[in-house]
């Protein structure tokens, strides 16, 4: 990671620390909030926020990166070029499966939500590896908890689309998920 990336991560960490510190006045915090929103809504949101999620040791910076990615996914996932979507899917899945044991639980839960949000758009056709990965992790002793968390999140999100998916798409996801769940032991 280059120096400018490290400086950016430290800058975001400082902003978050100041934002949640009761010492700073409300007016000052409004300025901080504007800076954080600029990061969240910036042109490089995908790479910037993924870097915050993966390169920072601070769980609050990681969570901010993940929460910002969630907003980006819900706003513009389908406008991303397919190669960038492929990269983000595989990177997040790899992060979830390989680093969830070393991250704070609230960050891991947010990453699971990111994967499920992507799954709402792309599974099973463009994200076929999602369920086999869940199945494998549930059946392995080392990542059972991660797999169960992802499975639970999928069940919750696919069962209650809350109007953010077309009815036909929601039905397809539920039926496909139930077929796969019946094979998990």
Helices (H), 100-166: 105-122, 130-139, 144-159
Band of pLDDT at residue 19, cut at 50, 70 and 90: very high
The domain total for the chain is: 2
Residues 91 and 106 in one domain: yes
Range of the domain at 57: 1-79
Q: What pLDDT, on the 0 to 100 scale, is given for residue 69?
A: 98
Q: Is the pLDDT of residue 53 over 90?
A: yes
Q: What percent of the chain has pLDDT over 70?
A: 92
Q: What is the pLDDT of residues 82-114, one digit of tens each?
A: 999 999 999 999 999 999 989 999 999 999 999
Query: How sure is the predictor about 34, in pLDDT bands with cuts at 50, 70 and 90?
Result: very high
Residues 65, 90, single domain; the answer is no
Only one residue has tokens 């369920």, namely: 131
Q: Are residues 36 and 71 in the same domain?
A: yes
Q: Label residue 185 by pLDDT band (50, 70, 90).
A: low
Distance CA 108, CA 150 (A): 9
| Contact yes or no for 69/91 (Cβ under 8 A) | no
Least reliable range by pLDDT among 37-41, 115-119, 122-126, 142-146:
142-146
User: pTM higher than 0.85 for the full model?
Assistant: yes
Instruction: For residue 66, give the 3-state DSSP assignment.
Output: helix
By the 8 A CB rule, do 51 and 65 touch? yes
Which residue among 61, 79, 97 closes a domain? Answer: 79
Whether residue 140 is predicted with pLDDT greater than 80 in this model: the reply is: no
Identify the domain boundary among 25, 49, 79: 79
Number of CB atoms found within 10 A of residue 46's CB: 20
Residue 77 has pLDDT above 80, yes or no: yes
Q: Is the pLDDT assigned to residue 169 strictly greater than 80? A: no
Q: Of 79, 101, 130, which residue is a domain's last?
A: 79
């Amino acid at each position: 990671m280059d120096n400018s990336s490290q400086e950016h991560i430290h800058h975001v960490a400082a902003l978050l620390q100041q934002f949640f510190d009761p010492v700073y006045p409300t007016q000052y915090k409004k300025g901080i909030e504007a800076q954080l929103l600029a990061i969240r809504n910036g042109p490089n949101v995908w790479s910037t926020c993924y870097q915050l999620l993966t390169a920072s040791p601070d769980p609050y910076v990681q969570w901010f990166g993940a929460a910002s990615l969630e907003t980006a996914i819900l706003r513009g996932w389908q406008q991303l070029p397919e190669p960038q979507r492929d990269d983000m899917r595989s990177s997040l899945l790899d992060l979830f499966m390989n680093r969830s044991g070393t991250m704070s639980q609230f960050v891991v839960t947010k990453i699971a939500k990111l994967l499920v949000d992507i799954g709402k758009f792309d599974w099973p056709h463009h994200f076929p590896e999602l369920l086999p990965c869940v199945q494998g992790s549930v059946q392995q002793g080392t990542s059972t908890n991660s797999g169960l968390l992802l499975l639970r999140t999928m069940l919750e999100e696919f069962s209650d689309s809350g109007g953010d998916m077309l009815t036909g798409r929601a039905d397809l996801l539920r039926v496909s998920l139930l077929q796969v769940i019946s094979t998990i032991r």
